């Protein structure tokens, strides 16, 4: 099988017919891998890196940097089996007329040019990849080995590279002399840093249009200090240098590592336990019960003062008293006034429950859980405070039992502890209403005809519209707000 294969500039798509070689990423003698980037080419659309179609050793580079070549033009020759030993030298004889010597049959057999357009092997660069897509860039087409990029280096003088011996008469981008010779040597072209000039310093950052401008104006990018992001060279830098202004010699710029967006920066958390159950319940509820959410902003200054007075009483000094306690009491009293809110949709009937198992949404390390206070409507305010304290402490310690999380009839979610005003909560399955209690904030409020700083909160009530219509939901929410506005007056009026 032929060892030397010539790689033609592939069709980069969108009807482009030519490209300019910006930088060679390899040099003669380098060992390369399949799909390793070997050259950067600029087209009318963008600058792209072209990967190697074969693994092997670079035998010849046909066009130096800055050359514009047409699609289909040979640009590099690759020995696909360098381990087989050196290529055999072939001798040729010049014709009397002075024409180029005719290569022997053996030397012709040693060279294989990439198939013409339309005959490219499926799945390789320039041919149809699996699925019919044309693969011309890095990462497309089959990938049998992991492509590794060759470290970028500075300029390498041509004479420092050992000559490469090739069969005489075989055109690898150099002209064969008039006299017959057994072998011909191909000097390696000067290799430039792919981001800048031929200086041996660090990489020079510049966009393709800027490099082209520098080339047209005869400015060496390696002598400039960039004023753009990350020290990149801008058009103004090039124009300033071309106009004869003072130029500061650029210092090497530390190479930056391109960010990775793969699995190494992702975390996969198995969905199980509480998280799995919560996801199933929320999905079932969201796509089963038609949710409606209403909001009400209320002045809770009097309620906060009532809590302060309650904390000051001797029999309440060892009790945890929080705004959630008053919200829970307000909900329980409002349910007594509007029993339909505490019900369940059962297909052909609505089940109205005379007991209230009051759920309190709790965020734990295991996820969101909703334990409930059984028959909360029968408890006194002190008993309700103790039950809420025990429920929250048990949830935080991770000791909530399955029984404590089942049978809920109506829920409160205290989103105010996270510093947010309210939300549009999703109903727990089997319940018809859930109340979101927002943060209590000091805000300007019209009180007795004057604007004063008052303590204000926002309530959000989501309900199942199959059971609760707008009027019922609004009255229930209004009653909860009235209690929090003046709890003492509401107790006197409703009990």
Active site residues: 465
How is residue 251 written in tokens? 């210092």
Residue in 408, 294, 416 with CA at minimum distance from that of residue 356: 408
User: Quick check: 407 and 401 in contact, CB under 8 A?
Assistant: no
Could you tell me if 176 and 169 are in contact, meaning their C-beta atoms sit under 8 angstroms apart?
Answer: yes
Strand 343-345 versus strand 350-352 pairing type: antiparallel
Q: CA distances (Å), 291 to each of 371, 405, 421, 467, 468, in order?
A: 22, 22, 20, 11, 10
Cα dihedral value 327, 328, 334, 335, nearest 10: 150
CA 421 → CA 302, 368, 371, 440, 460, distances in Å?
19, 19, 23, 8, 9
**Cα 355 from Cα 350, distance rounded (Å):** 15
CA angle 150, 154, 156 (to 5 degrees): 100
Element (H, E) at 329: helix 323-337
Six-digit token pair at 430?
A: 């089997």
CA distance 108 to 112: 8
Of 8, 110, 99, 79, the C-alpha closest to 50 is 8
- Which residue spans within 326-425 are E strands per DSSP? 343-345, 350-352, 358-360, 362-364, 367-369, 372-373, 410-413
> How many other CB atoms sit within 10 Å of the CB of residue 453?
11
User: Which helix or strand (DSSP H or E) is residue 249 part of?
Assistant: none
**Cα–Cα distance between 225 and 83 in angstroms, integer?**
44
């Amino acid at each position: 099988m032929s060892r030397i294969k010539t790689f033609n500039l592939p069709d980069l798509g969108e009807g482009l017919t030519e490209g300019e070689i910006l930088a060679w990423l390899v040099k003669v003698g380098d060992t390369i891998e399949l799909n390793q980037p070997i050259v950067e080419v600029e087209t009318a659309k963008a600058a792209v890196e072209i990967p190697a179609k074969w693994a092997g050793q670079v035998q010849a580079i046909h066009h130096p940097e800055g050359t514009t070549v047409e699609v289909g033009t040979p640009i590099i020759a690759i020995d696909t089996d360098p381990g087989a030993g050196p290529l055999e030298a072939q001798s040729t004889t010049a014709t009397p007329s002075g024409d180029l010597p005719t290569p022997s049959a053996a030397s012709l057999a040693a060279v294989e040019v990439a198939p013409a357009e339309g005959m490219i092997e499926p799945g390789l660069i320039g041919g149809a990849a699996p699925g019919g897509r044309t693969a011309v860039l890095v990462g497309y087409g089959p990938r049998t080995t992991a492509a590794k990029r060759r470290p970028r280096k500075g300029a390498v003088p041509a004479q420092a590279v050992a000559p490469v011996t090739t069969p005489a008469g075989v055109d690898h981008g150099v002209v064969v002399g008039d006299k017959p010779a057994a072998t011909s040597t191909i000097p390696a072209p000067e290799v430039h840093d792919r981001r800048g000039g031929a200086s041996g310093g660090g990489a020079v950052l510049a966009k393709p249009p800027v490099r082209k401008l520098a080339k047209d104006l005869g400015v060496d990018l390696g002598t400039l200090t960039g004023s753009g992001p990350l020290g990149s060279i801008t058009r103004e830098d090039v124009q300033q240098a071309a106009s004869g202004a003072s130029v500061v010699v650029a210092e090497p710029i530390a190479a930056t590592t391109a960010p990775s967006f793969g699995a190494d920066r992702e975390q996969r958390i198995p969905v199980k336990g509480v998280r799995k159950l919560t996801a199933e319940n929320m999905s079932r509820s969201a796509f089963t019960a038609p949710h409606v959410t209403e909001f009400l902003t209320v002045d809770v200054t009097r309620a906060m003062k009532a809590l302060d007075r309650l904390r000051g009483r001797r029999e309440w000094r060892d009790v945890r008293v929080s705004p959630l306690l008053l919200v829970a009491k307000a909900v329980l009293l409002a349910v007594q006034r509007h029993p339909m809110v505490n019900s369940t949709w059962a297909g052909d009937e609505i089940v109205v429950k005379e007991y209230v198992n009051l759920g309190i949404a709790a965020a734990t390390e295991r996820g969101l859980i909703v334990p409930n206070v059984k028959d909360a409507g029968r408890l006194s305010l002190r008993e309700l405070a103790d039950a809420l304290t025990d429920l929250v402490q048990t949830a935080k310690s991770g000791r909530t039992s399955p029984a404590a999380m089942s049978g809920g009839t109506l829920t409160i979610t205290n989103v105010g502890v996270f510093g947010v005003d309210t939300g549009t909560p999703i109903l727990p399955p089997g319940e018809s209403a859930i109340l979101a209690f927002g943060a209590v904030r000091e805000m300007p409020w019209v009180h007795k005809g004057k604007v004063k700083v008052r303590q204000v909160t926002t309530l959000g009530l989501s309900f199942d519209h199959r059971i609760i219509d707008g009027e019922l939901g609004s009255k229930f929410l209004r009653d909860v707000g009235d209690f929090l506005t003046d709890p003492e007056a509401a107790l006197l009026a409703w009990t």
